[in-house]
Structure 1
Amino acid sequence: MTAESARQQRRLLFLLTSILAVNQLDRHIVNICLAAIGAEFSLSDTELGLLAGPAFMVAYVIFGFPIARLAVSFDRRNIIGVSMIAWSTLTLMIGMAQSFAQLVLLRIGVGIGESGAVATSHAMISDLYPPERRASAISTFMTGANIGLLLAFVLGGLITQTLGWRYAFVFAGLPGLVLAAILLTTTKDPERRSLPGESDDRRALIRRTLARIAPDPGLRNLTLAIGVNGIVTFAMLTWTATFLIREHGATPLAAGVILAFVAGVVGGLGTFFSGRLADHLARRDPRHRMTLLVVATFAAKPFAIAFLLTDWLPLGVLALSISVLFSSAYWGPTLAHLHGGVDAVMRPMATTMVLFCYNVLGIAVGPVIVGAISDLAGGTQTGAGLRYGLVTVQIAGLLSAWFYWNVRRSMAAPTE
């Protein structure tokens, strides 16, 4: 590879990573604005949950598969660029919405647009880099998700507090239009490395992977555990800022900074160190990976509930941080067990299926359950509705420990 080709390779990877950051910014900016949106349109928490979750995710899932099929035959750069123009424009237009119906329709549109970016970017990166460098490239790309989440909470909170929630959506939509123009005018779709007939092989691989996971009690329980974790994670991610604003009188900026620190910094540390601890424990007995997740799940819940029940914000932030440190432990051990339970050729597809379960259950179910419980408990009238909803979800999240224990029971003891 020439020096110029290497520069173009790095430049495209940086651009795709930036696009992912904007993708996540536009997806999660709504979370920091829920309190202000609900107040302006007199919405119930159930309606806010629908806006944050299913309005986006159902469209994202339904349109993700046909757009992925288009990416097999058409220019992937154009698919990402057009998708980005669409979702960025619709994000900007959310700031101009005049009714709940308009908010939902625009949010559905954002979901449709965003469904054309992430999977297509993964495919481009896989063709851009050889197999021996692909994992590092994809890891670099995925840092865009963390950057986007931090931007959504910090910048979203700052703009909502100083200019109002409508401007938060306007400013969130603008960067995507600029990046789309750069992508479409300065880059080209990498040459495809896939072989003729690979699409047929991929369809067969989907069937084979499903046939491997579904009947296996360990992998089946692992998938259920990650689905429960998704519900808890996205319920907290969606509603914590609104909870801080309602229950503790926090400003949108303060709530955003707290969430950025807890979800971004503390969550990242938990994920990083838990993977290394799980590998260390697994040298003695691979079942200890699941033991770690059972213990971490039980350890996280008292601190999460303490955060939701305390009236002193500094103590609540400390408790939430400790809870997230434990509750973010599941990714490394979960994926390690999954990859060890399927053939090497199935690992990417198995990972995709597990992530699909995590995202669909998490975003489509978690925010709505909390919103509905909050309304039953009085909603915004009592100010305690979200507390009841989030505590309920946290307690129900103990199901994941049971599923992880079932995974452990399905594993054979190590031989001496």
Structure 2
Amino acid sequence: MENQPNQNNPKTPLSRAGGRYENGIVLLMALTFGCLFFDRLALNFLMPYVSKDLQLNNSQIGLLAGALSLAWAFSSFFSTAWAETNNKKKIVFIIAVFVFSICSFGSGLATSFVTLLLARLLMGLAEGPVIPLAQNFVERESSPHRLGINAGILQGMGSALFGSILAPVVLVQIAENVGWRNAFYIAGAPGLLLGLIAWVYVKKSTAESAQIKEMSTLNLSELLQYNNIKWGIPVACCVFGWWFATLPFISNYFVNTQGMSADEMGKTMGLLGVSGLFSSILVPGLSDKIGRKKVILFFCGVGACYPFAVYFLAGSGAHLPVMFLTYFMMGLIPLVAAVVPSEAVPDYLKAKAIGLITGVAEIVGGVLIPALAGLLSDAVDPSAFLWIAASLALAGLAFSTKLK
């Protein structure tokens, strides 16, 4: 996995010359990514309020995270594959942005576990194709030497800046002052504007499907012939699972087990978001310089230390700084979900490869892992989710040795 331009994806002179448009696409996709994660992660940060009002236990919290991820996973692959095959990527992207923005209101209207579960399922279906298509648009317009850092900017501004830094601070303050339901309503508004901007700004050439080799919508068997797809799937499952094993439970754990106030929890989650922002740019950028495999191996090892920092350093002066550093494994998400698959396959399979890896990783890492973590945290110990995360980081390290 040397840092070389993908021979399957030679950039056209227009793409290479369009630096301004390249930067514009990266910024627009990053902002859209940000709104999506702001909406998706809102429930995690509002969970202390929602779980109290709706009387939710850890198993139900894990199922809520899993339901959204399951819907997201199927929609991510099948909607993206359909859009690629039928040359409808732009229209699918724009409709999905509008729908997930509207769906954010559904979470605010929930009155029970069942209605909240339905709202999250609908949101997952709408959000599924947005990330693979956004990554595909960015990859299409990226200069070869900027692919890693552009994917990192997308992840950094998206899930880190909006989803992990602004969301916990802003949403907790809204919930404290005007209630958690209003926080969900406010979270859904910006996506509508970005959908309109994407409608006008994204060029036809950016979203146009490459010439397909066969009249097939899925190309599953062909995709699995590529080494970095075959082994990239379990690596992505472990990286996603490491993140999702902790994400639905960590705010509750900080408040109910480690005794943080709501304000302290919000600031701690915001600090982890800053770590996610830095890592999402620095880690993929580093991989542009020294290669993808070396970076994935190293930061899987770093991420295995994060649960130990959360558990053993609580209350000490080292708690926050060590959590900040070990959370840098989050920077692997754009690598394993977008860069590795897009570099592994020819043009006509790129969007499908991203959708496949994202979809499978969402099912395993975002559905099964949170459900298991919730059950064990209820049945064994409230910290059980942390040890699941540590195990997944080590498994990801082992699988990544098979990458080329």
The partner residue of 1:64 within 50, 60, 76 is 76
The partner residue of 2:38 within 25, 33, 36 is 25
The partner residue of 1:254 within 253, 264, 268 is 264
Distance (whole Å) between structure 2 residues aligned to residue 336 and residue 62 of structure 1: 17
Where in structure 2 are the equivalents of 1:337-416 lying within 5 Å?
Answer: 353-377=356-380, 385-387=381-383, 389-394=384-389, 396-397=391-392, 399-400=394-395, 404-405=397-398, 408=401
Q: Are the aligned partners of 2:255 and 2:265 in contact in 1 as well (CA < 8 Å)?
A: yes
Inter-CA distance 194–84: structure 2 relative to 1 (3 Å threshold)? closer
Name stretches of at least 5 consecutive residues in structure 1 with no aligned partner: 378-384
Where in structure 2 are the equivalents of 1:302-313 lying within 5 Å?
Answer: 302-307=308-313, 310=314, 312=315
Distance (whole Å) between structure 1 residues aligned to residue 324 and residue 295 of structure 2: 22
SS in 2 for 1:238: coil
Aligned residues between the structures? 382
The TM-score with structure 1 as length reference comes to 0.74
Q: Are the aligned partners of 2:171 and 2:183 in contact in 1 as well (CA < 8 Å)?
A: yes
Q: Are the aligned partners of 1:60 and 1:114 in contact in 2 as well (CA < 8 Å)?
A: yes
Name stretches of at least 5 consecutive residues in structure 2 with no aligned partner: 1-13
Residue 122 of structure 1: how far off its partner (Å): 3.5
Q: Which moved more, 1:162-171 or 1:79-88?
A: 79-88
Q: Are the aligned partners of 2:100 and 2:126 in contact in 1 as well (CA < 8 Å)?
A: yes
Q: Kindly provide the amino acid, as one letter, of the partner of residue 151 in structure 1.
A: L
Q: Are the aligned partners of 2:373 and 2:388 in contact in 1 as well (CA < 8 Å)?
A: yes
Inter-CA distance 375–278: structure 2 relative to 1 (3 Å threshold)? same
SS in 1 for 2:111: coil
Inter-CA distance 406–67: structure 2 relative to 1 (3 Å threshold)? closer
Distance (whole Å) between structure 1 residues aligned to residue 120 and residue 333 of structure 2: 28
Q: Kindly provide the amino acid, as one letter, of the partner of residue 68 in structure 2.
A: F
Percent sequence identity over aligned pairs: 15
| 2:189 matches 1:174 | yes
Residue 111 of structure 1: how far off its partner (Å): 0.6
Q: Are the aligned partners of 1:339 and 1:347 in contact in 2 as well (CA < 8 Å)?
A: yes
**1:112-132, Cα deviation, whole Å (9 max, x unpaired):** 1112322233344455x3765
Q: Are the aligned partners of 1:125 and 1:134 in contact in 2 as well (CA < 8 Å)?
A: no
Equivalent residue, structure 1, for 2:249: 239
| 2:161 matches 1:147 | yes
**1:303-353, Cα deviation, whole Å (9 max, x unpaired):** 24314xx3x26553344234324x457669979996899677788866665
Q: Kindly provide the amino acid, as one letter, of the partner of residue 62 in structure 2.
A: G
Inter-CA distance 300–114: structure 2 relative to 1 (3 Å threshold)? closer
Distance (whole Å) between structure 2 residues aligned to residue 271 and residue 7 of structure 1: 20
| 2:208 matches 1:208 | no
Q: Are the aligned partners of 1:32 and 1:252 in contact in 2 as well (CA < 8 Å)?
A: no
The TM-score with structure 2 as length reference comes to 0.76
Residue 372 of structure 1: how far off its partner (Å): 1.2
Structure with the greater alpha carbon radius of gyration = 1
Q: Which moved more, 1:245-254 or 1:267-276?
A: 267-276
Residue 272 of structure 1: how far off its partner (Å): 2.8
Where in structure 2 are the equivalents of 1:2-401 lying within 5 Å?
Answer: 11=24, 13-51=26-64, 53-68=65-80, 69-70=82-83, 72-73=85-86, 75-125=88-138, 129=141, 132=144, 135=147, 138-142=151-155, 143-149=157-163, 150-184=165-199, 186-187=200-201, 189-191=203-205, 194-198=209-213, 200=215, 204=219, 206-213=220-227, 220=231, 223-265=233-275, 268-269=278-279, 272=282, 276=286, 292=298, 296=302, 299-300=305-306, 302-307=308-313, 310=314, 312=315, 314-325=317-328, 327-328=329-330, 353-377=356-380, 385-387=381-383, 389-394=384-389, 396-397=391-392, 399-400=394-395
Q: Are the aligned partners of 1:275 and 1:329 in contact in 2 as well (CA < 8 Å)?
A: no
Inter-CA distance 42–275: structure 2 relative to 1 (3 Å threshold)? same
Q: Are the aligned partners of 2:234 and 2:399 in contact in 1 as well (CA < 8 Å)?
A: no
Q: Are the aligned partners of 1:289 and 1:333 in contact in 2 as well (CA < 8 Å)?
A: no
Q: Kindly provide the amino acid, as one letter, of the partner of residue 33 in structure 1.
A: L
Residue 369 of structure 1: how far off its partner (Å): 2.0
Inter-CA distance 207–67: structure 2 relative to 1 (3 Å threshold)? same
Inter-CA distance 73–134: structure 2 relative to 1 (3 Å threshold)? farther
Residue 107 of structure 1: how far off its partner (Å): 0.7
SS in 1 for 2:248: helix
Q: Which moved more, 1:5-14 or 1:249-258?
A: 5-14
Inter-CA distance 334–190: structure 2 relative to 1 (3 Å threshold)? closer
Equivalent residue, structure 1, for 2:6: none
SS in 1 for 2:67: helix
Q: Kindly provide the amino acid, as one letter, of the partner of residue 110 in structure 2.
A: A
**1:87-144, Cα deviation, whole Å (9 max, x unpaired):** 11121121121121111111111011112322233344455x3765872655543433
Distance (whole Å) between structure 2 residues aligned to residue 397 and residue 67 of structure 1: 28
SS in 2 for 1:211: coil
State the Cα RMSD in Å. 4.2
SS in 2 for 1:107: helix
SS in 1 for 2:109: coil
